[in-house]
Amino acid sequence: MSPEMPSDRFVRIAELSAHAGQSVTVRAWVTHVRSSGKIAFAVLRDGTGVCQTVFVKNQLAPEVWERFAELTTETSVAVTGGARAEQRAPGGFEMGVTDLQIIGTSPADYPIQPKEHGIDFLLDNRHLWLRSPKQRAIAVIRSEIEQAIHDFFYEHGFLRVDTPILTAAIGERSGLFATEYFDLGNAYLAQTGQLYGEAAAAAFGKIYTFGPTFRAEKSKTRRHLTEFWMIEPEVAWNDSAANMRLQEDFLTYLVQRVLERRGAELAELERDITKLESVTVPFVRLDYGEAVAIVQKKGSVTQWGEDLGAEDEALIVADYDRPVFVMNYPKGAKAFYMKENPDDPRTVLCNDCLAPEGFGEIIGGSQREDDYDKLLARIHEEGLPVDAYDWYLDLRRYGTFTHAGFGLGLERTVAWICGLQHIREVIAFPRMMHRLRP
Ligand code: 4AD
Ligand code: MG
């Protein structure tokens, strides 16, 4: 430590309450300053909390008082002083300053100012925008949800399996990012880990994957990213009904966990938590045909056979205060691997889970086709390259098994729980059709 650095203990702002009455040093960034000539205040942020620091001119060395004048928004500092409870201060604690060191100055042109900025400007400055209180609240809730996901599956005896990002087999119909792969032709960035998850389920029983997935979708909607994170459980011997029970238990666990532990962050986002409190099992279950009838009655032009669009989904959930499962879509609207519905072979045993308040599809799930010949026929029908799926077909050749799983889109789930209309804010550095920087 350099001689001029204070020798007191460094603490994080969140730890101040454990140091009441002691002299401590906080290293942080300045969010704002104000001064009345004899007394001055700097509010600090260090990611764990915010803290007001109080400078009293006649109690400070003159050079420390003068240094206060150099503080600008986002100057990084080490502030030493006595920690004390102060109910009126943001965070409930403040520091009576005895010393101030400037670590990094911050010129007056700091791009993000306390005024309305356009979304493109904010996204261009995403590396700095992350420092704002709202963005911190979102990041904290996302991290809580990620931890809760791991805890849920761990407690339920699932194995986490990491599946490849560079793949040869195509999982979904949406666009692919291709890259040259040595002498082996094209590799594709994984759209899903599911096919590998199915192999792992036959080996390990109950598994889940948690990884980044990629879709070269030219959709500029509020719920599409080109890179997003997906959680995909796959369970040997689960049928479609058991698959939905797992989904509702899982989602209610995630919502409860955020309500229990992240109330302050939900409040920062002004989230109406009564909407989250009504997320309880059982969720609503609608057959696809019923769903089409509902949206048609409300004026939609969607016909039986078509996938449901975002507007249809909003019409469906409008009648309910909890998530809705829409079950058993027509074969033509869904992916090749879904199991034919024995009660209506025009349809497959699948479900989407639609979040309430108009947030739409957050989960896609299905029972998988376990009949070798039917699966092979579907691969042909879809025009997929059969040789890329030889290993996947092996799962039906050697001890085929009833199994089901689903994919939860992390960003859509976080956006819903946070009550945010656009998913671009719930990932630190969003990747979208027109955005690769920062
Ligand atoms: O419905 P999808 O395409 O299903 C699958 O990928 C299956 N292989 C999952 C499985 O059964 N294992 O995607 C699942 C979820 C969607 O419900 C949505 O939440 C999210 O992934 N998702 C996206 N999120 C952000 N941006 C995109 N472009 C997304 N595409 C899908
Ligand atoms: Mg889907």
pLDDT digits (tens, 9 = 90+) for 43-55: 999 999 999 999 9
* Residue 79 in domain: yes
User: Does residue 75 share a domain with residue 131?
Assistant: no
Query: In this structure, which amino acid lies at residue 99?
Result: D
238 lines ligand 1 (CB under 6 A): no
**For ligand 1, atom 11: residue with the closest CA:** 406
61 versus 4: which is more confidently predicted? 61
Mean pLDDT of 86-90: 87
What is the C-alpha separation between 318 and 299, in angstroms, rounded? 14
pLDDT tens, position by position, 386-415: 998 999 999 999 999 999 999 999 999 999
pLDDT tens, position by position, 133-146: 999 999 999 999 99
User: Does residue 18 share a domain with residue 143?
Assistant: no
**For ligand 1, atom 2: residue with the closest CA:** 364
364 lines ligand 1 (CB under 6 A): yes
* Residue 5 in domain: no
* Residue 273 in domain: yes
User: Does residue 151 share a domain with residue 248?
Assistant: yes
Residue tagged 């089409």 (tokens): 292
Question: Considering its fold, how many domains does the chain have in total?
Answer: 2
* C-alpha distances out from residue 283 to 246, 324, 350, Å: 11, 6, 15
* Residue 340 in domain: yes
* Residue 144 in domain: yes
**CATH code for position 91:** 2.40.50.140
User: Does residue 347 share a domain with residue 248?
Assistant: yes
**For ligand 1, atom 27: residue with the closest CA:** 224
Mean pLDDT of 199-227: 94
Residue 174 CA, closest ligand 1 atom number: 3
Question: Is the per-residue pLDDT at 312 higher than 70?
Answer: yes
User: Does residue 154 share a domain with residue 32?
Assistant: no
Among 74, 104, 134, the domain boundary falls at 104
User: Does residue 290 share a domain with residue 165?
Assistant: yes
409 lines ligand 1 (CB under 6 A): yes
User: Does residue 43 share a domain with residue 139?
Assistant: no
Q: Which two tokens stand for residue 118?
A: 């356009």
Mean pLDDT of 376-385: 94
Closest CA to 422 of 371, 355, 359: 359
169 versus 18: which is more confidently predicted? 18
Q: Give the per-residue pLDDT at 174.
A: 77
What is the C-alpha separation between 12 and 49, in angstroms, rounded? 8
* Residue 368 in domain: yes
Dihedral, 65, 71, 76, 80 alpha carbons, nearest 10: 20
- Nearest ligand by distance to the CA of 337: 1
Confidence of residue 169 (pLDDT cuts 50, 70, 90): confident
* Residue 334 in domain: yes
Question: Is the per-residue pLDDT at 92 higher than 90?
Answer: no
Mean pLDDT of 24-43: 96
268 lines ligand 1 (CB under 6 A): no
User: Does residue 276 share a domain with residue 162?
Assistant: yes
CA 422 to ligand 1 centroid distance, Å: 16
CA 193 to ligand 1 centroid distance, Å: 11
The mean pLDDT value of the chain amounts to 95
CA 363 to ligand 2 centroid distance, Å: 7
In angstroms, how far is the first alpha carbon of the chain from the final one?
Answer: 34
Q: Give the per-residue pLDDT at 8.
A: 56
User: Does residue 190 share a domain with residue 77?
Assistant: no
- Nearest ligand by distance to the CA of 423: 1
Mean pLDDT of 161-190: 90
User: Does residue 50 share a domain with residue 154?
Assistant: no
Mean pLDDT of 35-41: 94
**For ligand 1, atom 21: residue with the closest CA:** 409
313 lines ligand 1 (CB under 6 A): no
* Residue 231 in domain: yes
Q: Is 271 left (phi over 0), alpha (psi -120 to 50) or beta?
A: beta
Q: Give the per-residue pLDDT at 419.
A: 98
411 lines ligand 1 (CB under 6 A): yes
Q: Which two tokens stand for residue 63?
A: 């050079």
Q: Give the per-residue pLDDT at 172.
A: 75
233 lines ligand 1 (CB under 6 A): no
407 lines ligand 1 (CB under 6 A): yes
User: Does residue 20 share a domain with residue 147?
Assistant: no
Q: pTM above 0.75?
A: yes
Question: Is the per-residue pLDDT at 7 higher than 90?
Answer: no
- What's the domain range around 189? 126-425
Contact 79, 67 (CB under 8 A): no
Q: φ and ψ at 175, to 5 degrees?
A: -60, 155
User: Does residue 140 share a domain with residue 88?
Assistant: no
How many CA within 13 A on the CB side of residue 5? 11
Residue 413 CA, closest ligand 1 atom number: 19
Mean pLDDT of 85-105: 93
What is the H or E stretch that residue 57 is in?
none
Query: In this structure, which amino acid lies at residue 198?
Result: E
pLDDT tens, position by position, 261-308: 999 999 999 999 999 999 999 999 999 999 999 999 999 999 999 999
Q: What percent of the chain has pLDDT over 90?
A: 91
- Nearest ligand by distance to the CA of 365: 1
What is the C-alpha separation between 248 and 324, in angstroms, rounded? 10
Q: Give the per-residue pLDDT at 107.
A: 96
Query: In this structure, which amino acid lies at residue 424?
Result: R
194 lines ligand 1 (CB under 6 A): yes
What is the C-alpha separation between 358 and 312, in angstroms, rounded? 10
Among 104, 135, 170, the domain boundary falls at 104
Q: What percent of the chain has pLDDT over 70?
A: 98
**CATH code for position 196:** 3.30.930.10
225 lines ligand 1 (CB under 6 A): yes
